[in-house]
Structure 1
Amino acid sequence: MDQEDSNFLQLIRKIRPDLPAASAGPFKLWAPLHDPDRPSLPYIPGFTVQIEPHEAPLPFGSEQQYGPWPRRVPSADELETTTQSALVVSYPPLEANSISSNTTVSTTNLYQEQTAQLTITSYIRVGCAHGAQIVRCTVTPPGQPSFQAVAKIFDALYYRFTHGVARRPRDVTAQADKDYTREVAAYKRLMSVGETGRGVPKFYGSWTLKLPITSQGVRHQRPVRLILIEHLEGLDLEGSRIQNDYLAYGGPDAFHLPEDYRLEALARLLEIHVRLMHHGVDHGDLASRNVMLVTDTSAKLGTGDNIIITIPRVVLVDFNVSTVYSCTLMGKHPFENLARPVNPLGLFWKWSLGVDFEGWAPREWVDSDRPQQEWLMRRFGSEEQRVKYEPVTKELEFSEY
């Protein structure tokens, strides 16, 4: 038993002192079975495969929000006693006809009229510690010019098989399907209202590929779903942070960038969020790692020191936990019925942006709400800004701390 497991058991026994003592025998933590049928990760630079257009099923999740669960559910015993490769072969991805169709997220995609060749050129995030594999690639449709894209590959065989610290198995086949269907629904909805290529990446469609696998002596061709989106040259907010304090008291931050620059990027993110909500899409994970800064030479900012810097295009990525309300039992979010988006001033008045974007937002926002509220009022409270949004109907009171 390694130190991590030992520490975890000590924590469990503090919570559950009724469990057997260590002297009564070891408390077994579940671990995935040895899986000789599971191939090494194939998604490496140079990997080339044919991909085909795929009509994604509708997104799903809790029955209270989406209705009946559309997938077969493996039992807890099956999850504990099967290998990941056997599970993936036994529980393939859903097809669109597995769930009733919904035209509210349907749209034609220029890039999806035929098969194409995909060649991986470099990694963005790969491995078995996360979920989807994210890579840069070249896509070549027959008889058309190649283009650069990012592929997000929802391959359940390389999802993490354990529930984090709980060390229990999870149904990776359902998780991969859920991630895929939610991403596709969000991008299709946002493409239909002209938001892709603006506050979110351009969307080049949903696709499928096939990979061989031999499971328990039987050879199969297993389907794998993926989406193609715009290749963005830039950094996410998290990646823009560096160690600015040589004493390293506060950890990495982005305070080497002018504050006006950081606040303008944050304001643009809030604007994207309210626009998406107005279109019935809730991103669900507004975090630094999901916000890309892409160079945009058309927008410039003077810093006050006779230095001009460009304001980046701010792009929100990763929609695998998003909600498209037209695909839920709710049908519509109340914000969709409004003539204009809600004002970020009211929506984020009590939101702890200093905590959620620590190291990007000013330091004083972490300890006090008032500086953030004063900035929101300056940025979104002017008459010029107010005409872009619905009126703020609730009374906004400044925090006393």
Structure 2
Amino acid sequence: MPSPPSTVAPQLQTWRPPTDPDKPACPYQTGFTIDIKSHTPPAPFGGRDYGPGTRVVVPDQALRSLKQTELVMGNPPLRTADPAAPRTHTLSVTHELAVADGRGAQLVLCTITPKVPAGQAAFQAVAKIYDPLYYSFPNKDVPSVPCDVTWLADEDYSREAAAYEHLQSIGKAGSFAPRYFGSWTFTARILIDKTTPRSRPVRLILLEYVRGPSIRELCPAPPAAATFDEAYRLEVLARVLDGDAKLRFKGINQRDLAARNVLLNYPPGLPPAERHTMIPRLVLIDYNISIVYARTKRKIGPYHGTTLPPNPMQIHWTNPLQEFRGWIPAEWEAAPRLRQEWLSKRFGGKNMASYAPITAKLEFAK
């Protein structure tokens, strides 16, 4: 039987990023040093909760006719009012944490040396840099379609800055989330046609460097079960689910609860052999798709007016928690009832008094 004719236009099948000789190699390597200035991030935008905001999306047809450098130079980040008390620091990269062309936001460990106001001590921080020149120009799911990387970078920046501002205001930055050292901008320079110097603004945020592995890093090989017994792993999971529920109650949904986004922050100097018995500080990271309910179009979230956080049992009753595969018991995947029984035991009974009443009927899987 012959294949049906393609419904995809030829240009959708054949587009590839054009050669871009003006685009420099990703510069965010050890030794990179630049002055950064405090910045007021734009209001969070994107998706049905926040809405489109004021950022104009470059039309698809226009994207297809541009090089990434042309797109970025012609569509700078959203402008906002200057901070009331501007600050200037020097950022020096000491280690690359997650740096690659096409990755999206770049993550680097830095030394931050305050310049204005003077007299403050240097400190260590993680810089998350939203440089659209090093976002993936091809859509990662459909490579034959270009992405407006300038829109994506601004969306990530606006959402993550809003999230950390909110986390700081509710006292979670520095406990279940990293400490937040503010939003910043710097001027990057580029040479066009190898002769004409141009400059462009780049946005970033500064965060606490949380030492310790993610749950995902502990899972591959050897299996997590080889080092951490099931009781330990499930206690960590329970605290993560509880922390997430409390964030939702306090007005923020991280929306990407996964093993790669939970860090285990053990005390400095703790011998590795003792890690399997001590529950460390657990830190949830990565808020670029989060929702701060008070800043959405509706201004309120699903837990507005409640006096206690939602019960994790209700939130995750039908969630297979596959993002924690390798950490959760392997048999949960084939027998969802086992996961539900654990949820009921961990968050039911007397523990239900710590949470809002369950409003849905929870039925065990068969």
- Same-fold call, TM cutoff 0.5: yes
Cα deviation, residue 82, structure 1: 0.9
The match for 1:136 is: 109
TM-score of the aligned structures, taking structure 1 as reference length: 0.82
Q: CA offsets per residue over residues 54-75 of structure 1, 9 Å max, x none?
A: 000001113x433454123322
The 5-angstrom pairing of residues 66-145 of structure 1 reads: 66-96=50-80, 114-142=87-115, 143-145=119-121
Aligned residue for 2:126, secondary structure, equals strand
* Superposition pairs of residues 2-401 of structure 1, within 5 angstroms: 17-19=4-6, 29-62=14-47, 64-96=48-80, 114-142=87-115, 143-167=119-143, 168-216=145-193, 218-244=196-222, 253-256=223-226, 257-296=228-267, 309-353=277-321, 355-383=322-350, 385-400=351-366
Q: CA deviation at 1:351?
A: 1.3
* Inter-CA distance 27–178: structure 2 relative to 1 (3 Å threshold): closer
Partners of 2:125 and 2:361 lie apart in 1 by: 46
Displacement after TM superposition at 1:347 (Å)? 1.6
Q: How far is the alpha carbon of 1:185 from its aligned partner?
A: 0.4
Contact 2:40–2:81 (CA under 8 A) maintained in structure 1: no
Q: Please tell me whether the aligned partners of residues 124 and 209 of structure 2 are also in contact (alpha carbons under 8 angstroms).
A: yes
Q: Judge conservation of contact 2:43–2:53 (CA < 8 Å) in 1.
A: no
Partner Cα distance (1:43, 1:227) in 2? 14
- Indicate conservation of the 8 Å contact 2:232/2:276, yes or no: no
Q: Relative to structure 2, which stretch is displaced further, 357-366 or 332-341?
A: 332-341
Residue segments in structure 1 that go unaligned for 5+ positions in a row: 1-13, 99-105, 245-252
Shift, 1:238, TM fit:
1.3
Offset of residue 289 of structure 1:
1.3
**Alpha-carbon distance between aligned partners in 1 of 2:304 and 2:76, rounded to the nearest angstrom:** 35
**AA of the residue aligned to 1:59:** P
CA distance in 1: counterparts of 2:189 and 2:158, whole angstroms:
23
Deviations 1:96-117 (A, max 9, x none): 359xxxxxxx9x9xxx852111
C-alpha separation between the residues in 2 aligned to 1:270 and 1:46?
39
Deviations 1:144-174 (A, max 9, x none): 1111111100000011111124221100000
| Shift of residue 264, structure 1, vs aligned partner | 1.1
Question: Post-superposition shift, 1:279?
Answer: 1.7
RMSD: 2.5
Q: Which residue matches 1:10?
A: none
Give the number of equivalent residue pairs.
353
Q: Which blocks of at least 5 consecutive residues in structure 2 are unaligned?
A: none
- Matched-pair identity in %: 41
Give the whole-Å Cα distance in 2 for the aligned partners of 1:393 and 1:66.
27
Task: Give the Cα separation in 2 of the matches to 1:283 and 1:74.
Answer: 28
Q: Distance in 2 between matches of 1:318 and 1:162?
A: 22
- 1:5 alignment partner in structure 2: none
Q: 1:52·1:209 contact (CA, 8 Å) conserved in 2?
A: yes
Structure 1 residues 308 and 364: CA distance shift in structure 2, 3 A: closer
| TM-score, with length taken from structure 2 | 0.90
1:285-340 Cα deviation digits (max 9, x unpaired) = 1111111111148x9xxx9xxx9721121111111111111111121112132111
